């Protein structure tokens, strides 16, 4: 793990104040120190970060089918909260999923992906993938994809609905 607090501590001469811990930190700096801090921080990261941390990786907890996503599973997941560095949000993979034809890009620069996906004869489930807009082509023409996601409850206008927070997707094999 990379220790963000130690990295800030190594650059303390450019900061007015800072605090935090290994996984999260905050700081205050004067605008005139920004460039010096940025250079020092980038150098510290290059010196101390393990190369393996620079390769994106998603840890998947279990493969499930959409038919297994039900109120009982949601209640069980809610019992494990709160999630954080020592208690990560469960990540699932479901294979051979298809978009129902409602894929669309969202966000100012269309960098986010919204899907309504189903597996076999399951009910469709809404899914959102922040930063996954470039993967919309994978869902075109009803191609089968494998999706990696966490399950969340989305509250909007007083209504709570289930949605999948996509971490990644790929063409099914």
Confidence of residue 140 (pLDDT cuts 50, 70, 90): confident
CB-count exposure of residue 138 (10 Å: 0-12, 13-18, 19+): buried
Cα–Cα distance, 118 to 97 (Å, whole number): 6
The mean per-residue pLDDT over the stretch 86-97 comes to 93
Which of 112, 63, 66, 113 shows the shortest CA–CA distance to 90? Answer: 63
Structure token digits, residue 30: 């004067």
Can you give the pLDDT at residue 160?
82
Q: Is pLDDT at 19 greater than 90 in this prediction? A: yes
Q: Is pLDDT at 163 greater than 70 in this prediction? A: yes
The helix (run of H) or strand (run of E) holding residue 18 is strand 17-20
Q: What is the pTM of this model?
A: 0.69
Q: Is pLDDT at 142 greater than 80 in this prediction? A: no
Structure token digits, residue 62: 């279990």
Domains and CATH numbers, the chain: 4-54 (no CATH), 62-171 (2.40.50.460)
């Amino acid at each position: 793990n990379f220790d963000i607090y130690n990295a800030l501590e190594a650059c303390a001469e450019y900061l007015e104040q800072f605090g935090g811990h290994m996984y999260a930190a905050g700081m205050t700096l004067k605008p005139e120190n920004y460039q010096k801090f940025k250079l020092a921080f980038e150098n510290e990261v290059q010196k101390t970060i393990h190369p393996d941390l620079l390769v994106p990786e998603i840890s998947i907890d279990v493969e499930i089918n959409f038919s297994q996503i039900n109120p009982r599973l949601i209640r069980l997941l809610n019992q494990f909260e709160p999630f954080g560095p020592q208690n990560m949000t469960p990540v699932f993979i479901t294979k051979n999923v298809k978009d129902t034809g409602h894929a669309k890009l969202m966000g100012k620069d269309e960098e986010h992906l919204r899907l309504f996906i189903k597996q076999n004869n399951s009910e469709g489930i809404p899914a959102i993938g922040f930063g996954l807009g470039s993967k919309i082509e994978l869902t075109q023409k009803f191609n089968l994809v494998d999706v990696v996601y966490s399950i969340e409850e989305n509250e909007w206008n007083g209504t709570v609905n289930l949605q999948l927070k996509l971490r990644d997707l790929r063409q099914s094999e």
